[in-house]
Chains A and B, each alone.
Chain A
Amino acid sequence: MAVLVIADHDNATLKDNTEKTVTAALKLSSDIDILVAGKGAKGVADAAAKITGVRKVLLAESAELGEGLAESMEALVVPLMANYDAVLTPATSQGKNFSPRIAAKLDVAQISEIVDVIDADTFVRPIYAGNALETIKSSDAKKVITVRPTVFKAAADGGSAKVETIPAPAAPAKTHFVDQKLVKSARPELSGAKIVVSGGRAMGSAEEFQKVIEPLADKLGAAVGASRAAVDAGYAPNDYQVGQTGKVVAPELYIAIGISGAIQHLAGMKDSKVIVAINKDADAPIFQVADYGLVADYKTAVPELMAALTAAGK
């Protein structure tokens, strides 16, 4: 069978969600092509061509593909599916936006956010905020799948596939891009970071969140996350949110500060390798998933942690 993987990128750089999705695709087939859809994304296509196990890279460019319009992505991918048995997309907000359109147009089910491949028809995916894992078998001839990238290891570099340019579809008539405001940050990206430091409602204000969480993150070279409560209260921007409805992360080290551990937050971080919780409430549910728990007020614990890290040469 032939599999198409849709690359995750920002037109300038290829994101490692792509390599992780290739790993999932390799469990289905060894005939894997990558689609890079964007604008000014030749460098992304060249990077994708280096992923081991990739046959070829298709590059399509237009203003609307660069803006990630779902209608354009669907119009591009659906005709290509004549040549493929499955299409795999990383389950980012962008992937979730367009992938169901491809499924609807092909009249097949979408198999959402898989965490394992059992065979060519059978997949495992989390449901109920990760409180249950569902094994499902698809009867559709073509599979439209989104992949939770954090559970798959990135495929290595070392290939040299060729890049083939393909035509972009016409612009959608009824959807118009107005603008995009992306948060610029020198910190690693939340979904791929090795260490994540997250703050919760206990911070009490945006100023406190910045004063407590951000220096600790910077000391550890970590990404910054937040609980839904902290985001809803305006202490942290929405794209910091870790949880069922925010980002799902699985870093080497996750440090939760002043986070009680609501079900929907745990759904976004419980696959982290090591979890540290700092909370003054010894009964907070976060301690049930934490490998190391420190029952303390963050106001004293975080400065002490900073000092201990300095003493340890960090």
Chain B
Amino acid sequence: MKVLVPVKRVIDYNVKARVKPDQTGVDLANVKMSMNPFCEIAVEEAVRLREKGVATEVVAVSIGPQQASETLRTALAMGADRAILVQTTEDLEPLAVAKVLKAIIGEESPDLVIMGKQAIDGDNNATGQMLATLLDWPQATFASALEVSGKKAKVTREVDGGLQTLEIDLPGIVTADLRLNEPRYASLPNIMKAKKKELAVNELASLGVDTAPRLKVVKVTEPPKRAGGVKVETAADLVSKLKTEAGVL
């Protein structure tokens, strides 16, 4: 069974995004970039399936600038077998990403796609669902547990108020939520080994996919700041302030 894992290079999880003074976007110059945390979870899950002998090959795919090859090397160091970079300097919207992934899937024919439920930059939470729709494959989003047996996957999903379990016929799309697993750190020997693994580079234009943006960014602004509050000395002070000053009790 072949598993395909799309991964995205984004601002590092621990870095606070700052809006550019000209309001054209978020300042990413000289900012630490990493693999999107949900994509890391997806890679980990695919590698675990490989280690259990359920999957025979794990292919990581990224769409982005040349530096996205570093993100793919991370996936290879975690245990993916090979990687594909679709190189572009354009910032693609989820629909365009789904169309590009569909084209790659047409060439690779994986049995299962595991991907993060959302990227922490655009916060759209849409690409996996769109890809499933374009392929007419079943989807199981927000997975907190995944069990693959034969041509079926049983997926526990995090839903409002609890958990839902679905069974999907493969090939299918699973999107990873936070509690699916805890991703490993790549060891130094594995990082060295990853340098020798295959990383194919395709130019986006060569795929012939319509990636024209549908949304125009008018401006990007900082959210209104909360005014600084006050410190109270005791719990009794707190209750009296909440009652009389804030009026919320």
A residues at B contact (CB < 8 Å): 10, 67-71, 74, 92-94, 96-101, 103-105, 107-113, 122, 126-140, 172-183, 189, 191, 195, 220, 228, 231-232, 238-239, 244-245, 252-253, 263-264, 270, 273-276, 287-296, 301, 304-305, 307-309, 311-312, 314
Measured CB to CB, the closest approach of chain B to A186, in angstroms, equals 13
Whether A175 pairs with B166 at a CB distance below 8 angstroms is yes
Contact of B223 among A112, A131, A290, A314 (CB under 8 A): A131
Closest 7 CB pairs of A and B: A304-B235, A128-B17, A100-B126, A100-B129, A182-B162, A104-B130, A109-B214
Whether A180 pairs with B218 at a CB distance below 8 angstroms is no
Nearest B residue (CB) for A237: B162
Whether B166 pairs with A176 at a CB distance below 8 angstroms is yes
Whether B221 pairs with A133 at a CB distance below 8 angstroms is yes
Residues from 1 to 15 in B contacting A, C-beta threshold 8 Å: 11, 13-14
Measured CB to CB, the closest approach of chain B to A190, in angstroms, equals 9
Q: Which residues of A contact B121 (CB under 8 A)?
A: 127-128
Q: Which residues of B contact A137 (CB under 8 A)?
A: 215-216, 218
Whether B95 sits at the interface, judged by CB under 8 Å, is yes
Nearest A residue (CB) for B15: A263
Measured CB to CB, the closest approach of chain A to B37, in angstroms, equals 9
Whether B222 sits at the interface, judged by CB under 8 Å, is yes
Q: How far is the CA of A252 from the CA of B220 in the complex (A)?
A: 28
Whether A305 pairs with B239 at a CB distance below 8 angstroms is yes
Given contacts A100-B130, A289-B226, contact A253 B235 (CB under 8 A): no
Measured CB to CB, the closest approach of chain A to B58, in angstroms, equals 23
Whether A176 pairs with B168 at a CB distance below 8 angstroms is yes
Question: B202-234 toward A: CB 8 Å interface, digit per residue (1/0)?
Answer: 000000000000111111111100101111111
- Most A-side CB within 10 Å, residue of B11, B161, B167: B161
Whether B126 pairs with A110 at a CB distance below 8 angstroms is yes
Question: Would you mind naming 21 contact pairs between A and B with Cβ atoms under 8 Å apart?
Answer: A97-B129, A100-B128, A100-B129, A101-B129, A101-B133, A109-B215, A110-B95, A127-B220, A132-B17, A133-B223, A136-B216, A178-B154, A179-B165, A180-B162, A245-B38, A245-B117, A292-B238, A292-B246, A294-B238, A308-B239, A309-B239
Contact of B94 among A109, A252, A296 (CB under 8 A): A109
Whether A253 pairs with B17 at a CB distance below 8 angstroms is no
Given contacts A94-B159, A101-B132, contact A270 B226 (CB under 8 A): yes
